[in-house]
Amino acid sequence: MNEVRQPTVLILCTGNSCRSHLAEGILRAAAGDLLEVQSAGSNPAGYVHPLAIEVMKEISIDISQHRSKHLIEFLHREIETVITVCGNADQACPVFPGQVNRHHWGFDDPAKFTGSDVEKLMVFRRVRDEMRRAFEAYAAGRRDQLMAKS
């Protein structure tokens, strides 16, 4: 029996340390049964930001095992949809094999915010919540498309 592969959604950001991991975790939680969700960066930082991990734990999503990846890792994989979450990644985004869709949804970079630890955490939460609304709506739309086809 042939296994049907889930379409792959690749979320890109420059550093692949914060926003793309927030989005990957949220979309995977919302649509992991429908989509394979990955993230990468055009210039990866080499780590996942600790505050990103912390604010995701607050909504019961564990991204502590994520790793910062370069988009080159995905150039030979079939990617159905690319979603860029920062302007630099949108400009540096190559076309991937099999790519059908491309979206750019820009979000503030909470890692660049300077302030107290409490203020930084508030910014990470705000960006997480903005991304949550966008990516959960995207997952619901994909689910509706699938239901309409069956």
Q: Are 106 and 127 in contact (CB under 8 A)?
A: no
User: For the segment 38-75, what is each residue's pLDDT rounded down to a tens digit?
Assistant: 999 989 999 999 999 999 999 999 999 999 999 999 98
Q: Return d(Cα 36, Cα 31) in angstroms, integer.
A: 8
Please tell me the predicted confidence (pLDDT) of residue 89: 62
Q: Which band of pLDDT confidence, cut at 50, 70 and 90, is reported for residue 4?
A: low
Please give the share of the chain, as a percent, with pLDDT higher than 90: 73
Active site residues: 13, 86, 93
Dmax over Cα atoms in the chain, in whole Å?
Answer: 56
CB 127 within 8 A of CB 22: yes
Q: Which has the higher per-residue pLDDT, 93 or 32? A: 32
- Report the alpha-carbon distance of residue 53 to residue 56 in Å, rounded: 5
Q: What is the rounded average pLDDT of the residues 130-148?
A: 94
Q: Which fold has domain 8-141?
A: Rossmann fold (3.40.50)
> If you average pLDDT over every residue of the chain, what do you get?
91
Domain ranges of the chain: 8-141
Whole-number Å distance between alpha carbons of 58 and 23: 15
CA distance 44 to 20: 11
Stated as kind and residue range, the H or E segment containing 83 is: strand 81-84
Per the listing, tokens 């939680």 go with 29
